[in-house]
A = this chain, B = another copy of it.
Amino acid sequence: QVTDAPAFGKGLFNLVGKDSTFTMKIATRMQFLGVASWQKEEGGGLINPESNYLVRRSRLKFDGFVYSPKLEYKLELGLSNRDMSGGSELTSGSPRYIMDAVVMWNFYENFELWVGQTKLPGNVERVVSSANLQLVDRSLVNSRFNIDRDMGIQLRHKTNLFGDVVMREKFAISQGEGRNVTGDNLGGYQYTSRLELLPFGEFKGDYTGADLERETSPKLMLAATYDINQDAVRNRSNQGSYMEIDNGTGFYETTTKTLFVDAMFKYNGFSFMGEYAHRDANDPLAKNSDGTLTGDEVQVGDGLNLQMGYLLKNDWEVSGRYTTIKLDENITGKSPEDQYTLGLSKYIVGHKLKVQTDISYLNVDGGTDEVMYRLQLDVHF
């Protein structure tokens, strides 16, 4: 018995429940990564080679509507060891298996209420699915500043300002400690606001890498996110390590603010994505209740990421990225870093079946420079 399925890349099943009482698209994906890296000697040679081969990401996804097309949902599970990592006592000692579990209710005109765990409306690079990246993986700006997923509610709205100009507003209130936390809320809540402006109208590629649509007219999204995590207990807002105090009997709390300004541009195979990030905290130096320093500090500072690519007629893409990170050296003790990446991608079936490779040069101010080479294969049903 053979079951007809969608074309490759369109999911495994597109279920429609009897009397259209629900729909569900079921999909899965695998991402294989090989990494080799070297440190650069004073003299210029490459030393200390390291390598790593892994199933970088693997997912199982369920989405659709239930009861009414106005009530959508999404459930995404992470299958790989990296996907599930980050478990602790605060996640009931269990792996972080659920990525997204969210219900989205279009309760009135262009308003949507989201309830559950999913990505916060943070920097564009983070919200681009890891399935749809332009280079092998996200930039250092993202790994140092992104606000990832969290549990809570989101209110989303969009409006057509005039002509083609569209504005989208996204607000979130969340627990502020990241995904899969099962314990009581620590510190205060996290408040995220994002405003997006699409001067040439909405476009399919606003949240994907590469211009696979080959837009025939210029398309642009300009956006800014401001995030306040009240009395945050982790050193990168709702991410990073927990700042323990008093020998692990409590947590240091300080209000942490993150700002993102980003842009996504697509036209005729050319794509550009840029983002600036800034993090600040009321008092970034973690202290025990007696005022002594714990040694932890909020990772405050700035980051800038600029990347672009050009998609050739034969679905090969050449891309480049420049990333610079300047954490506050007085507070974090970390030197400025610049990274230059050159990427090459072959989109065999778009982002669904692709081979990507990139080579990066990391310049650490006053430190050891590094070279990294990566090769990745993606299969997304």
Contacts and interface: CB of A to CB of B under 8 A. Distances in A.
Interface string A54-87: 1100100010001100000101010111111111
Contact of A5 (B15, B51, B377): B15
Given A7-B17, A55-B117, 10 more contacts: A3-B14, A8-B67, A10-B17, A53-B175, A53-B185, A80-B97, A81-B91, A81-B92, A81-B94, A85-B93
Copies assembled: 3
30 contacts: A1-B14, A1-B18, A3-B14, A5-B17, A5-B24, A8-B17, A8-B67, A12-B26, A21-B349, A28-B75, A30-B75, A30-B103, A50-B184, A50-B185, A51-B184, A51-B185, A52-B175, A52-B185, A53-B152, A53-B185, A54-B182, A55-B98, A55-B101, A55-B180, A67-B349, A67-B353, A83-B94, A87-B94, A103-B377, A115-B377
A82 B92 contact: yes
A151 to B, nearest CB: 5
A77 B54 CA distance: 15
B30 A14 contact: no
Contacts of A174: 53
A372 to B, nearest CB: 12
Q: How large is the interface on A (under 10, 10 to 19, 20 to 34, 35 or more residues)?
A: 35 or more
Interface string A172-191: 00110000111111000000
A69 to B, nearest CB: 12
A320 to B, nearest CB: 26
Contacts of A364: none
A133 interface: no
A103 B349 contact: no
Contacts of A97: 79-81, 84, 95
A61 to B, nearest CB: 12
B50 A22 contact: no
A52 B181 CA distance: 9
Nearest to A37: B184
Interface string A182-203: 1111000000000000000000
A96 interface: yes
Contact of A81 (B52, B83, B115, B180): B180
